[in-house]
Amino acid sequence: MKNTPSFLASMRLFCLICLSLMGFGALAQSIQFEYDLKITADPAKRAAYLKQSGDAPSPYEQVFNLVKGSMSVATIVDKVDLRKDQYHINSTGTLGSVLATVLADQKLLRDSVGSVTKDGMLTNTYQEKRGNTELLIARVEKNVLNFYKVSSRTPPVGSASFSGRLFDMLTVGYQFLGRDLPTKSVTLPVTDGRSLKTYTLVRGEAWDFPFDNGKVRAIRYYKTTSKDDSATFEVWFSEKEHVPLRSVIGLNAQYGATIQVDLKKIPAM
């Protein structure tokens, strides 16, 4: 074939497309994490609190009443998509077969979208739906975090002002992918779709973590508590990949429950 002007132009275009695709592939990364969720609950303690306070339990709380002592209740799959300056995390929690039948196959659905900066993954929009409860939406709009129920097309049900960084319940666990683990305490403004709270995570001990029929060196970070916020939270990050191997959430005393989430296998990074 002769090197005519049209042929050379076509080849240049083809090369440009190939280079573009190669560049996109180098900047894009999609990682899937799968976790086992275990709950330790005291239904009697929760029932006593509800009776005293006069509050009504949410439909999703039925799972606590079905737990006898400590048991594995669900599998969580997080899909983390990273681009050069953007991220998207989609999370689905699926109940085990017995609980799924009793609770009509309710799921925990969470979604987070935002930007990737030198300060980590910064949240723009966080959504959460627990079983058949209403969809909760937290969205940054003109330096204000607005909260919605069901749809962001309706007026917000609340708002919170913030400055600088913003994180959510999904991005906390993946903040240090590709970044150094903090050597000191770190303060994170975190939203759960309902409100905005400030978490101070303290760097704790290192441990050879029993994992996947072996041991993985991990470092513990734990949240400080106060009189107004007695819920506990800790996460073990692998020293090498900086992925969350285990997260433990101790709910406020009125719930009488602890949630433990364990990574099943470290994915290829």
Residue 159, H or E segment: strand 158-161
Token pair recorded at residue 91: 């999370």
Two structure tokens written together for 3: 């090197």
pLDDT above 70: residue 110: yes
165-188 burial, b for 16+ CB within 10 Å, e for fewer? ebbbbbbbbbbbbeeeeeeeebeb
Beta bridge partners of 87: 82, 114
* Amino acid sitting at position 89: I
Q: How high is the pLDDT of residue 254?
A: 64
Three-state DSSP state, 16 = helix
- Residue 74 CB-density burial (10 A; 0-12 exposed, 13-18 middle, 19+ buried): buried
What is the rounded CA–CA span in Å between residue 58 and residue 130? Answer: 10
Q: Which of 178, 131, 127 is nearest to 150 (CA)?
A: 127
User: Could you tell me the pTM of the whole model?
Assistant: 0.80
Instruction: Sort 53 into a burial class: Cβ within 10 Å, 0-12 / 13-18 / 19+.
Output: exposed
According to the model, what pLDDT value does residue 65 have?
A: 64
pLDDT, one tens digit per residue, over 67-100 is 667 788 889 999 999 998 999 999 999 988 766 6
Q: How far apart are CA 138 and CA 149, in angstroms?
A: 9
Q: Picking from 12-21, 76-85, 237-246, which range would have the lowest pLDDT averaged per residue?
A: 12-21
Distance CA(146)–CA(46), nearest Å, equals 31
Indicate left, alpha or beta for 159 from its phi (over 0: left) and psi (-120 to 50: alpha): beta
105 pLDDT above the threshold of 50: yes
Specify the pLDDT at position 96. 83
